[in-house]
Amino acid sequence: MQSDLDIARAAEMEDISAIAWKLGISDSEIMTMGRGKAKITWEALKSRLSKPQGSLILVTSVNPTPFGEGKTVTTIGLTQALNRIGKRATCVIREPSMGPVFGIKGGAAGGGHSQVLPMEDINLHFTGDLHAVTSSHNLLSSMIDNHLKHGNDENIDSTRIIWPRVIDLNDRSVRNVTVGLGGPANGVVREDRFDITAASEVMAILVLAKDYADLRRRLGEIVVGQRMDGSPVKAEDIGAAGAMSLLLREAFLPNLVQTIEGDPVFIHGGPFANIAHGNSSIIADRLALGAADFVVTEAGFGSDMGAEKFMHIKAANSGKAPDCVVMNVTVRSMKLHGGAFGARAARRPSKEEIEKEDVDAVRTGAQSNLDRHIRNMSKFGMPVVVSVNRFASDTDAELDCLIECARTSGASQVCLTEVHAKGGAGGAQLAKAVVVSCQDHIAAGRPFTPLFNPNTPIEEKALRVATRIYGADGINIQAKADRQLKQINSWGYGHLPVCMAKTQYSFSHDANLLGAPTGFEVPIREFRLNSGAGFVVAVLGEIMTMPGLPKRPAASDMDMDEDGNLLGVFG
C-alpha cells in the first residue's frame, strides 16, 4: 500500500501560474514562492474582494479520536469532487504548525488521493508565514522588556504583564519561565511564559483582519499589561505596532497551492481550535468566494470547537456565514464514543479492536455524540450534510446503522465518502448533496442564528456555549478568572466574543467524558484578553496553550538521505 508521501511524490504538479489561471488570476497577480506555491498580490486581492460571492461550505467533525477522522481529507476530496462534477470550486484551509507535525499528528495536508501539494513544503516551513507571526509576536515581547529597562515611561507594572512569548514547536519546559536574570544589564527580572505560535493573538489578528489598515489597527490595540494605576497598556503605547505590521506584510497575503488532481487551494493562517479560534483567514475566504462558485473551508477539531468559533467569531468579523455544514464522521469514531474501546478518549485501540464489528457501539456513539453535533449545527440555521468517511474495515451493517442514525438526528443528506482511496471520484455523491443543500438554503432564505447578540456580556456568552453546545449544567468561574473578568469589563471589553479553550476529545472540559455527557459544570480557569483580535479566551479545565511532546514524538522517525530527500515523514 502506497504511503501519503509516495502518492504525493508520484503526482505531477502543474505550474502554479496554470493553477492561478483556473480562478482567473494572471501571472502578474501572483508572487511565486518556489516550486508549486505562490502568494496572491495585494493588488489582485483588492480587485476581487468586491466581486459576487460564491457559496461557502464549512466542513467540521464529531469529536476527534486518536486514529483521526479525515476532516482535511474530506475537505480536499470534496473540492476535487465539486470540480469533477463541473463546478468551479476551491478550498481554504489552515497552515500546519510544526508543533503537531513533530509531535503526534505528523502531516496536515490531507492524505491518500486527497492531498494538497507540495506536501513536504506545506508541512514544514511552507512560505514562512508562521515564522513571521512568531517574529512579530516576539518583537513586541522584546520591546516590552526594553521599555522596562530604559525608564518605563508608561509606568508599566512588571508583575501585571500579560503578553507571553511564542515558538512554533511543542515544548512544555518553557510554559513558565523567568526572564531578565544575570544582573541589571539583562533587564528587569520577571515571570513570563511561552505559548505555541498557533495560540498567539498575532496569529488571530492575521486571520481576522480585513485589509492592511485593519491589520495595523488591530496590532496597535493589543493590550500587553497594565500600568501602576490599573489602566491598560497597548502595543501602540510602546511604539511596537508599526514594526510588527512590517513583519506581517507578506504573511498577510494568502498562499496558493494545488490538490493532487490540479485544483486550486488557498492555505492561510494556522490558529488551533482547542486553544484559539481554529479557522483560516477571512482575507483568503473573501478572495476565494470572489473567484469560485463554491468554496470549501474547514474548522479545526469537532463542531464544538472550530465550527462554534466560526459561527461566533469568524462570521461576526467577515459577515459571511456558511451556506451548508458538512459533518465528517467515521464508524470507528462512533465505536469509541459508544464505549467499544474503553473509557479513555486518548487510548489508541489495536487494529483487531477497530476491525471487530460492533453495531451496538456504533449506534450508541451515533445517538449521543453525532446526534448532538448535528443538532448543534442545525441551531445556526443552515443544512447539515453528514459525510461518512469510509474505511476498508467498516462493515455494511455498521455503515447502515450510522447512516440511519444520522438521518434520524436531522441531517439533510447522508453520504458515503471514499476520497482517500479514490480522490474526487470518491466524493461525487457528497459534492452533489452539497450543491443541492446550498441552493436550497439560499432559496429558502433562512437567517443565520447565532446563540447570542454582540452585546451579550462575556459571562452569558460563555454560559450559553457551555449549556447549548457542550450540554453542561452551567459554568464555574474560578477566583482568578473572576478577577480577570472584572478587569476586562472595567477596561470596556465586556462585549467581546468568547473563544473557549478546552480539550478537543469531549464536549466537556474532561477528555474522558465520551459520547454526549451531561450533569457537569465547565470550570473556567482564566480569562485572557485578546483585544486586538477582538475576543476573550476562556481557559477551561487543564488545557495548556503550550503543548508538550509525547513519549515518542513523530520527529523521532523523521530523517533525510544524502540527496536531501525526506524519510519517515507524513505517512
Is 551 among the domain residues? Answer: no
Residues 94 and 218 in one domain: no
Is 195 among the domain residues? Answer: yes
Residues 134 and 273 in one domain: no
The pTM score is 0.95
Of 247, 272, 287, the position where a domain reaches its end is 247
**What cell was used for 249?**
506584510
Residue 34's pLDDT band (cuts 50, 70, 90): confident
Q: Average pLDDT in the 134-146 region?
A: 98
Q: Tell me the residue type at 241.
A: A
Residues 209 and 75 in one domain: no
Cβ atoms of residues 314 and 208 within 8 Å: yes
Q: What gap in Å lies between CA 99 and CA 171, rounded to an integer?
A: 8
Residues 100 and 162 in one domain: no
Q: Is 60 exceeded by the pLDDT of residue 571?
A: no
Is 389 among the domain residues? Answer: yes
Residues 368 and 490 in one domain: no
CATH number of the structural domain spanning residue 288: 3.40.50.300
Q: Is 80 exceeded by the pLDDT of residue 568?
A: no
Residues 237 and 317 in one domain: no
Residues 117 and 133 in one domain: no
pLDDT, tens digit (0-9, with 9 covering 90-100), for 212-236:
999 999 999 999 999 999 999 999 9
Helix (H) or strand (E) segment spanning residue 244: helix 241-247
Residues 331 and 437 in one domain: yes
Residue 346's pLDDT band (cuts 50, 70, 90): low
Is 73 among the domain residues? Answer: yes
**What cell was used for 176?**
513558565
Is 561 among the domain residues? Answer: no
CA-based torsion, 39, 45, 49, 52: positive or negative: negative
Q: What gap in Å lies between CA 257 and CA 15, rounded to an integer?
A: 10
Q: Average pLDDT in the 301-318 region?
A: 96
pLDDT, tens digit (0-9, with 9 covering 90-100), for 65-80:
887 788 999 999 999 9
Is 566 among the domain residues? Answer: no
Residue 570's pLDDT band (cuts 50, 70, 90): low
Q: Is 70 exceeded by the pLDDT of residue 422?
A: yes
Q: What is the pLDDT of residue 68?
A: 78
Chain mean pLDDT for the chain: 94
Is 571 among the domain residues? Answer: no
Of 247, 273, 288, the position where a domain reaches its end is 247
CATH number of the structural domain spanning residue 152: 3.30.1510.10
Q: Is 90 exceeded by the pLDDT of residue 193?
A: yes
CATH number of the structural domain spanning residue 492: 3.10.410.10
Q: Is 60 exceeded by the pLDDT of residue 442?
A: yes
Residues 272 and 407 in one domain: yes
Nearest by Cα to 341 from 511, 510, 514, 470: 514
Angle CA(446)–CA(293)–CA(288) in degrees, nearest 5? 100
Any idea what DSSP says for residue 52?
P
Q: Average pLDDT in the 291-299 region?
A: 96
Of 387, 416, 444, the position where a domain reaches its end is 444
Q: Average pLDDT in the 555-568 region?
A: 85
109: helix, strand or coil: coil
Is 558 among the domain residues? Answer: no
Q: What is the pLDDT of residue 329?
A: 97
pLDDT, tens digit (0-9, with 9 covering 90-100), for 462-513:
999 999 999 999 999 999 999 999 999 999 999 999 999 999 999 999 999 9
Q: What gap in Å lies between CA 455 and CA 457, rounded to an integer?
A: 6
What is the residue-wise DSSP string for 486-538?
HHHHHTT-TTS-EEEE--SSSSSSSTT--SS--S-EEEEEEEEEETTTTEEEE
CA-based torsion, 326, 331, 332, 334: positive or negative: positive
In the chain, how many domains are there? 3
Residues 428 and 486 in one domain: no
Q: Are strands 294-298 and 55-61 parallel, antiparallel or unpaired?
A: parallel
CB atoms within 10 A of CB 556: 12
Q: What gap in Å lies between CA 520 and CA 471, rounded to an integer?
A: 8
Cβ atoms of residues 498 and 458 within 8 Å: yes
Q: What is the pLDDT of residue 229?
A: 97
Domain enclosing residue 414, as ranges = 4-124+254-444
Q: What is the pLDDT of residue 26?
A: 94
Residues 375 and 493 in one domain: no
Q: What is the pLDDT of residue 5?
A: 75
Q: What gap in Å lies between CA 421 and CA 417, rounded to an integer?
A: 10
Residues 142 and 77 in one domain: no
Q: Average pLDDT in the 97-114 region?
A: 82
What is the residue-wise DSSP string for 114-154?
EEEESHHHHHTTTTSHHHHHHHHHHHHHHHHHHHHHTT-TT
b/e sequence 94-105, b meaning 16+ C-beta within 10 Å: bbbbbbbbbbbe
